[in-house]
Amino acid sequence: MPPTTATRPRRLKVFVQGQVVIPDWVDDLDSFCQWRLSEDAPQKGELAFLDTGIWVDLSMEEFLTHNQVKAAYDFAIMSVVQPAALGRYVPDRMLLRNAEANLSTEPDGLFFSWETMRSGRLRLVEKQGLGFMELDGTPDLVLEIVSKTSVEKDTVLLRDLYWKAGIAEYWLVDAREAKLSFEILQVTRRGYKVTAAVHGWLPSKVLGKRFRLQKKVDPLGHPQFVVASADSQ
């Protein structure tokens, strides 16, 4: 017989490369979020609660195919969002929690409209003395840039959990190979559906624009990524 709740042993502490210690009392979403926002949690690296497990990634961010791709999307999305006052775009390093999906993670980027915040679908969570440290609920759009260590997390685990969270669009980008991959996934009742490209452009219902990822060459001969936007047809 499995142990009862009263007699079930606590999970052992988890030590990751001697740098991250996940306490034994962290065993569900609430306890993870409590620990993640505490002074005991590490300030570097990626830690996420992904429904049935905790994801830890201490690898450094690659410059060209991750950092600079992320910067290109940040610029493109903010260039659309701010002039039209559509809402707020949030770059990476902001915690997102969603109880329905049993999820706590830091997307590479996310967007929420003013109406989403007013309706209560998403709310700011304040930590005493430190300001707003977490978003709780369902934003309108999330962005993930795939890296060498995040393939399973971004393409499988988060694809399922972001859908369960009811996020309308999931932008999934992989610029590591010669052939670029940029998908806008639209939420449906049965999961995410890949948006069809029209002449290389992907329409976003959330932002009301079309987008395209391009790879060029900078003056030093390195890849340079540009995200273009255009009015929807």
pLDDT tens-digit readout, 157-190: 999 999 999 999 999 999 999 999 999 999 999 9
User: At residue 118, does pLDDT exceed 50?
Assistant: yes
- The CA distance from 219 to 68, in Å, is 15
> Tokens for 123?
């709310």
CB 182 within 8 A of CB 193: no
Say what percent of the chain tops pLDDT 90.
85
**Res. 30: pLDDT tops 50:** yes
Q: Where are the beta strands (DSSP E) in the chain?
A: 14-16, 20-22, 46-50, 54-57, 87-91, 95-98, 103-105, 109-113, 122-127, 131-137, 141-145, 169-174, 181-188, 191-194, 202-204, 209-217, 223-231
pLDDT at 229: 98
> d(Cα 138, Cα 49) in Å, to the nearest integer?
16
As a whole number, the mean pLDDT across the chain is 94
Mean pLDDT, range 44-64, rounded to an integer? 94
Res. 3: pLDDT tops 80: no
Decide: pTM greater than 0.75: yes
Q: Is 116 helix (H, G, I), strand (E, B) or coil?
A: helix
**Higher pLDDT, residue 99 or 12:** 99
pLDDT at 166: 98
